[in-house]
Amino acid sequence: MQFRLVPAFLVFLGSYFPLAVILALQDIKQEYWGFDFCWSFRDCVLPSGNHPYLSLFGVLLTLACLLLTIYVLRTLRYKYPVTITASKPIPSELISYSFPYIVSFMGVDYGSAGKIAGLVVFLLWLFLITYRSGYIIMNPMLLILGWNLYEAEAQINGHKRVIKLLIRSDPTPGKYLCQEVQGSYISMGEKQE
């Protein structure tokens, strides 16, 4: 199964939910940061941002994409039996590659069209890299949610292969039901008898 471009882009956007939250926090007006912590609901004041519609749109869009990714992973039909004989974790090189770039965008201001345009171009470029490399299913949010990527020695239809396996548990030797997406196998981590 190959991810189509639009669903792949939605999965990719979901991985940037934390960045959208950071940008929304940076957009809050300075005067609200001096307020005391709200201990009672009646005394709470909802802070507003300098560009509330843009920051709220960013947070809601990336949250919706993240929830869609989680929904898709839970509802995939895991139908291909794969016997894992050995596995080892794959270091998350893509994340270490993109992290310095993400940090450099901490100064993004929703009031600066040039910085927003630069962020959009950066994200599109990073999306193309991850999509072409086949790592679209592996993003930082999936790591946080307990998914890990492994290189596994497996038997599929009686043939020995080395595969990339995205799984929610440590893949001990045994049989798992998987789905193949863009050259990687995905499993919820439940062993089959």
| Residues contacting residue 141 through CB under 8 Å, at least 6 positions apart | 14, 15, 17, 18, 66, 69
Question: Running DSSP on this structure, what letter comes out for residue 190?
Answer: P
Position 68, amino acid: L
For the cut 80, the answer to whether the pLDDT of residue 154 exceeds it is yes
User: pTM for the full model?
Assistant: 0.78
Mean pLDDT of 47-64: 87
Q: Which residue has the higher pLDDT, 184 or 174?
A: 174
Q: Output the pLDDT for position 97.
A: 55
Tokens encoding 33: 């940061």
Residues 6+ apart with CB under 8 A from 3: 11, 131, 136, 137, 181, 182
64 pLDDT tier (thresholds 50, 70, 90): very high
Residue 46 has pLDDT above 70, yes or no: no
> What proportion of the chain, given as a percentage, has pLDDT over 90?
15
Instruction: Say what percent of the chain tops pLDDT 70.
Output: 85
110-130 b/e with 16+ CB inside 10 Å = b? beeeeebeebeebbeebbeeb
2 vs 24, residue with greater confidence: 24
State the greatest distance between any 2 C-alpha atoms of the chain, in Å, as a whole number.
Answer: 66
Beta-bridge mates of residue 177: 81
Mean of pLDDT values over 39-50: 72
**Three-state SS for 3?**
coil
State yes or no: pLDDT of 161 exceeds 70: yes
Chain segment 97-150, per-residue pLDDT in tens: 566 567 666 677 788 888 888 888 888 888 888 888 777 777 778 888 888 888
pLDDT at 89 over 70: yes
82: left (phi over 0), alpha (psi -120 to 50) or beta: beta
Query: Which sign does the torsion angle of CA 153, 156, 160, 161 carry?
Result: negative
As beta bridge partners, residue 81 has 177
